Every structure is written in C-alpha cells, then in structure tokens.
Homo-oligomer: A and B are copies of this chain.
Amino acid sequence: MSSRYDRAITIFSPDGHLLQVEYAQEAVRKGSTAVGVRGANCVVLGVEKSSVSPMQEDRTVQKISMLDKHVALAFAGLTADARILINRGQMECQSHRLNFDNPVTPEYITRYIAQHKQKYTQCTGRRPFGISCLVGGIDADGSARLFHTEPSGIFYEYKAISTGRSANTVREFFEKAYRDHEVTTKCEAIKLATRALLEVTQLGQSRLEVAVLENGKPMKMLDSCVISEIVKIFQKEKEQELQAKAHKMKR
C-alpha cells in the first residue's frame, strides 16, 4: 500500500510517513561513510573516498569541504547534491561576513543548510536533497562544535557522529570508545576518528581523508603519511593488547 504515497513528494502516507524523505535517506545509506569527532579545542572530520580511477586527481575527489576558514562540511550521499549545498553554504558564509562583519557560527550555517533541506521536503517541484552533512567548526569563543543534518532537515549537535554506509557500526564504536577525558587533545580526536573509519572501510587506509579544525587555524587535511603513522600505532597497540592478553592467559 505504501507504493501509493511514495511518488508524490509532499504528502503523508496514512500512517504519517513522508516516504520520499525516507528514500532519500536510503541514498545516504548507500553513500560512503563519514565520521566526526569533537575534541576539547578541535573538530575532526573523516571520510572514505571511493576511488573511481587511478587517473583521478585526488584533490577534486575530496569529500570534506571548507565552508569558511573555521567551518568544514563532510557528507554522505549524492555528490552532485552535496556540491550545490556546499556552494550555497560557502556563499552564505561570505555574505554573512560582508553583512555582519563577523563570521557565521557553526550552528548558524548548520541551521541554514538544514532549513534549505526541509524546504525541499515540503514543496512540490523538487525532490529532497540526497545527502547527510557533518558540519564541524569553531565558535567565536574557541569552543569546538559538531553538527549532523539529515535529508529531512533535522539537525542535532554531537560529540561524535557518523553517517553513510556504516553509520550504525561506527556509532556503536563511538559509544564504547568515546570517553570525554580521552579526547581532550587534538591527537586523541584524530586517532578516534581514524580508528572509527578503519573499523568499517573496505578500501584500505590510503583512501581515508581526515581534516582537523582548530581554534585560530584554518582547516588542515592530514597527510597520508600521518595517517599511516597512526595506523601503525593502532597495530602496535593491538599487538601489545594481544600480548598482554596472552600474557594474562599464561599466568
């Protein structure tokens, strides 16, 4: 019966569902995984990049985009849709600076993006945006912020969040692994985000993309060699853990 209600974008099914929005979320669930981790003074965003071809220039495959010097966006879902939203976000950041003489807050630009998405779920003549966004940024007072928006236009703030193909696995991982005292430093935040991606990626460490936002510094993409260093540390830790276990079992 649901099939009768899912083709007209702007209507409710008899049990109160908006089916097109749910299908758009399905498109997100097909997208590659994106994660975000908020540290004490920083936000780390990470994605896996599906490699179309070795001929492709890495720079344009980037799935993490700066909206402003202090705000970045990672997404899961339809890339072309994302580009539109990113562009609108960037323009809003610019125009905010011009009109108000100060930068947007991460929450302001997240709400701007979320409302734009909601509009596309209520009016005819348009389909919902097929992307979920993670917006990370630094407030004027230096505190780090991390938001998540869905195709429906809902947004919430998180300490650590994931979206895309393996979102649920990562969220469970975060609930176990995230401890406030652990992510006070930038290093810990980077390690947590990277490990979350490694837990679920099928593409190998070389296809990871990790960005860091700190107070007073522009967004920085991690070098691939840095990432492989982190991977080595994980492996060492894992071995030590195993040895420790073995050691324990021996006793």
Binding site for B on A (CB under 8 A): 1-20, 23-30, 52-57, 59-61, 78-81, 83-84, 87, 107, 111, 114-115, 117-130, 146-147, 150, 152-161, 171, 174-175, 178
Contact = CB atoms under 8 A, between A and B. Distances in A.
A166 to B, nearest CB: 15
B13 A23 contact: yes
B26 A15 contact: yes
Nearest to A14: B23
B24 A60 contact: no
Contacts of A61: 156
Contact of A27 (B16, B81, B147): B16
A81 B119 CA distance: 9
A125 B127 contact: no
A26 B16 CA distance: 5
B10 A127 contact: yes
B80 A114 contact: yes
Given A6-B11, A18-B27, A81-B118, 7 more contacts: A5-B7, A14-B26, A16-B24, A18-B78, A55-B161, A57-B157, A80-B117
A115 B57 contact: no
Given A84-B115, A117-B80, A127-B122, A55 B158 contact: yes
22 contacts: A2-B14, A5-B6, A7-B11, A12-B130, A16-B24, A55-B158, A55-B159, A57-B157, A57-B158, A57-B159, A60-B107, A61-B156, A79-B152, A79-B154, A80-B117, A80-B152, A81-B153, A83-B114, A83-B153, A122-B127, A123-B126, A124-B124
Which 7 interchain pairs have the tightest Cβ spacing? A16-B26, A57-B157, A80-B153, A16-B27, A12-B23, A60-B157, A10-B127
Contact of A124 (B26, B80, B81, B126): B126
A9 B124 CA distance: 11
Contacts of A12: 20, 23-24, 26-27, 127-128, 130
A14 B124 CA distance: 18
Contacts of A20: 11-12
